[in-house]
Amino acid sequence: MLKSILAVGALAGVVVLAGQAGATELQVKMLNQGTQGMMVFEPATAKLKVGDTVRFVPTDPGHNVESIKEMLPPGAELVKGALGKEVLVKLTKPGYYGFKCMPHWGFGMTFVAKVGDGKPNADAAAAAAAAAPGAAKKRLTADMAALK
């Protein structure tokens, strides 16, 4: 268990144990330039558990984070962060959670988390990825395939 947490931590940059036993907090940076190119969330994908949290950190200014409403598990809360603001999201339901930076949606600035087995909205999330604009379609389609 500890070994797998360390491995994920090395991959994601920072993972810390949250207060709740067994729950993890993933830190996701909003960047003008990341390892996958310009205007990215880093990391751009994650496999997480119900009860985990994601902390979106405005490392560079001019980004926000908000839910892709067609990529939201049933019963999960819509998120809409302000520009340049940190947002903490608790993943309370199983399924795929999609997020976008509104100013850079067409550039493919997206983040997807598969929570649990992802099944509750897997088909809807795949359809939303295929319908996304510009570079977001390419990124989300690839990310959904990688998370399977």
Q: Give the residues lining the site for Cu ion (CB under 5 A).
A: 63, 101, 104, 109
Q: Which CB sits closer to Cu ion, 99 or 121? A: 99
Q: Which CB sits closer to Cu ion, 29 or 63? A: 63
Residue 104 CB, nearest distance to Cu ion (Å)?
3
Contact, 41 vs 28, CB < 8 A?
yes
- Give the Cα separation of 96 and 99 in Å (integer): 10
In our burial notation (b when 16+ CB lie closer than 10 A, e otherwise), range 91-110 reads: bebbbbbbbbbeebbebbbb
Residue 113 CB, nearest distance to Cu ion (Å)?
18
Q: Which CB sits closer to Cu ion, 63 or 114? A: 63
Residue 125 CB, nearest distance to Cu ion (Å)?
21
Task: Give the three-class secondary structure for 13.
Answer: coil
Closest CA to 148 of 90, 67, 71, 123: 123
Residue 49 CB, nearest distance to Cu ion (Å)?
27
In the complex, residue closest to Cu ion by CB: 101
Q: Which CB sits closer to Cu ion, 31 or 76? A: 31
Do strands 53-57 and 24-34 pair parallel, antiparallel, or not at all (unpaired)? Answer: parallel
